[in-house]
Structure 1
Amino acid sequence: MDEARRFPYEAKPFEARKVLLLAAHPDDEVLGAGGTLALLAAAGAAVRVAVFSRGEAWGDPAVRMEESRGAASALGLPPPEFLEFPDRGFAGRPDDLREAVRRLIVETGPDLLLCPAPSELHPDHRALARAVVLLVQSLRVGDDALQSLWRASVAFYEVSHPVAADRLVDITAVAEKKEAAVRLFASQQARNDFARKMLGLNAYRSYTLPAEVTHAEAFRVLAWQELQTTPLTALFPEPEGPAADLPSVGVVVRTKDRPALLHEALLSLAAQFVRPAQVAVVNDGKVPVDGVVSAFGDLKITLIEAGGQGRGAAANLGLRALTTEFAAFLDDDDLVYPQHYRRLLETAVAGRAEAVYSDALSTVQVFDPAEGKVTVRDKVIAYSRDFDPDHLLYDNYIPFHTLLFRRRLLDAAGLIREDLAVFEDWEWLIRLSRHTPLLHLRELTCEYRHFSSTQTLGEDPRSKPEFIQGRRRVLELTRALRTPAAEERLFKRLAERADRLEREKAVLAGETAFLRQQAADMTVERERLGRELATVHGELKQAGAENAVLRRRHEERMEQVNGLEEGLAEHREEVARLDAHLKSAYDEIHRLNTTLALIYASKTWKVHSWVQRIKRGLTGGKA
């Protein structure tokens, strides 16, 4: 049924042991998810409700908080806790919001996190939803909040605007209790009959459910891993408020014989909340791109023909064409999300930074010749590291299109080397880092795309000769910068990070093994029930369809099998998510070990170690 792919046609309760609900105002927690919370509490879940304001914009705060406590009691919930964010003032305190959400997650360790949907009308609701999304997207391996959230799903609930639901919870059994709880908010009921209207929405939400279901609450649910790799603009398609008066930015777009990809890259520029004042498209290939460029008349594009001079020369031709205050790069195979330049510019201005970079989602685009289509695999945030000039000497962790820099820095750092076939961006970033720190914006604002086919899938580009030779060349060019002091600083930081990763890897491996065993046990149980079901089928055939006892046994076993199938599917999804997370940890450990190996093998490190041993000998073992 086509409708079932667009909207749920069956209700499905949440199964959770620890629940954390975040609400903007007293009453939101009941209006949006009161029935679901009552059901979870009755099933034995530990429920924690945090209300971020005291509702002073619409009444006496003391009255509103007391109403919220009374409603919680009526639903069988513990009293909510209240934070002191200003009613209708959340948007002005995004960092404080995010830190408050982090604290609550670390303290609670929820396996279900409920918060307002990004589609809400009230600005406080949207600001709280944005804080949750940005926090989840900023979490990395080793973060306490990630450890507390790694088994959680995030469920967005609706209050002031219907959510694009993919989960319906049947609250028929507690609908009257929810209505009574809503009516306890007398100060708000006097303004508007929220009880009637919200229960009306809950009644409407039962439209696709069986007749016996009279009320349902709707949610959009994402596992935290899925939320982390979902572009912000997929959840918040409109910018949050008008952009401030920001400096101008020009973008150099390098392209070579890939007009279709160039079209996609320019589309992403055209969709920017803050558009580039200049775009220099540098064609370093033989395939003409005039037709592609002419389709974007609303972008101020200068087309430059490089004639196959190479990546570095193409970049420099583009840079020379810009006159803007800030500059950025975008190769034809990458994308920038709509908020990209706005957030980078805002961060640069707020931090008074000369250069700033964000996080990129790394994806593998696989072309299947047999099917004639492209599928996206391996969506991970592979590049997210705070600025460390020592680490940059060994590993390029800043994709070029994540970077925004003041164009005047070219006077100090110079242009890009034109004699490097690859890694010209890395070598230039190292030079740039000698003149200014790079401010890290830990937000997902762009996409780093790898292209492959079903025939080449699994090949590691790091093993290609040009990759190895290019890396070796950059290391040779920057050898003088890798001093013993720099190596010792980096070694200490990497060793600490590797230790944290190993501990997290052990935890993840244990949890994954536990879930695998649970899935295996469920498979055995499913097979046993299947055999019993076959026996019941045979007995039914012999005894006749009228045998009510056997029918009941048959229906019971079918329900058990279906329940196990559902649970098994969820376990498999959880194992898959854990495997992906574990792979990220392994990849990060591999990168760290590679860098450590380079340090150990360097002449400066060997000389430094030899000097340290001599010092210890001269001082009687004291360094």
Structure 2
Amino acid sequence: MFKFCAAVFNHLICFADFSINCEGCRETGIPIVTRGAIDVWVRRGTFLGTPAAIDKQTKIQYIAGESEGNPLPVFCVAPKGTRPKRWTHGRLKEVAEMECLLVPIEAVARIGPGPVLVMAPHPDDEVFGCGGAIIRHVGDGDDVHVVIVSDGGFRREEQTADQRQAYVEMRQRESIAAAAVLGYGQPEFWGIPDRGLIYGERLVNDVLDAIERYNARQVFTPSLSEIHPDHRVLAMAAAEAVRRRGSDKVCLVMYEVGNPLQPNRLLDITSISSKKALAMACFKSQLMEQDYSQQMQALNRFRSYNLPKNVTMAEAYWVVSAEDLQKNIISLYASEFQRQKELGLLTDPDEAPVVTVIIRSIGRDASLRDALDSVALQTYPRVEVLVVNALGVDHPQLGCWCGRFPLRLSGSGHSLNRVEAANFGLQEATGDYLIFLDDDDLFDPDHVAGLVAALEARPDAVLAYAGVSCVKKGEDGNWEYFITYNDDFDSIRLLCTNYIPMIAALFRRRIVEAGCRFDEKLKLCEDWDFWLQALAHGKFVHVDQVSARYRISGESSEIWTDKTLAEDATRKVFAKWQITITEKQTFEIFSRAGRASKAEQEAQKFQIAYNDRSNHLAHLEKAYRERELQLEELHSAYEELHSAYEARTEQVACLEDAYNARGAQIEHLSEDVGELQAENAGLEAYVKRLQSTFWYRFSKRLGHAPQKEAG
């Protein structure tokens, strides 16, 4: 069932390069839903998944992170700086499709490149309907040509011929005045009587001649949903003229005047709305009947409802290329219900195709309950659950419902092996689409919806498959990731190996009606053989999202547990299909084998180089660890020296303090000595003065005179 091959064919397996097909904006910046539920556009920006998408118009990016602790694929989504909302893949896909496909969620700055031809049924329609677009094109330097088809002379009250002509001329002057405000020159007047437009070759050819004469790339015309008959007739004629023009560079651009249309393009006219209002004010004759200017401004204001806050005025358009009109012009006239049905946005679940989920069961009650729960969570609205009783007897009872979906337990009355049970399921299924789910595996909630959308978008395809993650029980009993299968489709590779797990694929019932069955001679690889049968009836589509889980346990298929059985089954499939392989396919297989052999040789060289680098890295790591030890030793020595230095520094500081104190003391003593010396000098001077006096000399002589003894 999965990626394996007999030894003799191992070298033939060539895995296709993984590629990302990220569709974003067309030239005009219209956001579209890309393949896979991860990669979708959301409101006012993009949900960043794999691959990432960025809104080319506003540059606003949306952040996403996987929600921890949640068994379902739930993501947190929010503009940067705001509180995230928790949505599953299915909810993201639903919101993105509804908003992006039903109405634009971003405004564009221009409709497309010029030259531009504006077809107006009456004087004033060119301004009321697309005045903002005209201003934008003129501002971009595009050539803008306006043709006013009818004379606009119809009035409800009776009027003479002269009065009617005067009224027609007045309306022409109003359009000329408005043209001066818009800045495109002067309009061209065809003068067909008001309410006199007739859909036919003459009008179509006149419009086609104008398109060719002006080499127009954008042809503006009223929409088919307009109320006025002249508007609708001109829309039909313009659509046919653009279809006949046939260039992929020419687009029909339908605008709204008397009745809102369902747009696929919104033009931001916020900064130029005042200029458009001045142009509308030129039509005084019409504004006397009704305040059309105020009504059109209200319509333009309403068109900003789905747009960012900074866009307050917008014009709505339906844009379709000449190439698309050549493919299917009838789609222009389809009902809104039919349009939404073709887009896959059905509001009535009863209109959706029925999907039968076939579960082959051998009565493993606990795992079967998990499988049924995963089906009950499917976002797709019409599912039939068919449980095939492969036990034959004593199968656990299941009831009649799996969530909101009807459930049937059906069996043949005797035990069935895995291949017989698969064919019994094909026989009993009633759905338009069929898919298998083993009783120990799981679908993510958006699995069926994503596959149905892929097949609905590709009528030429008979099978769509998504990615599957394989998990196995670890030693602690918890499920652990093992491997993921999510490769692009490659028919040559499918001849060599099966890379599409059974639970990955949804297929159309018509291949069963055409005779596709599981080969009951095969004990294993019956799904691979079935895919090869289906490939003869149409194309396969890969949905680039991982939305199912294959659980590998002791009770899983022998393909994981018995290598001998797997190789034997592989050889049987090769033997069965080798006679159908064409010469071209054989050449491609052997070419890939050669490339695979070269790739293996290169891989060996890289392995040798890798080993050398690994050894060198080991030596470097050893040297690094030695240097780390040296560094630690040096660091320890440094710390010791630093501590000693700090101690010495502190000691020096103390000595400096003592030295400074002694210096101050010496200074004070020096001052005292100076004072004593000065005092001593004064005393010496005083002594000298005393010694120079008479009394001192007299007393000195008396002191030296002989002393007489007492008598």
Give the structure-1-normalised TM-score. 0.47
Give the structure-2-normalised TM-score. 0.42
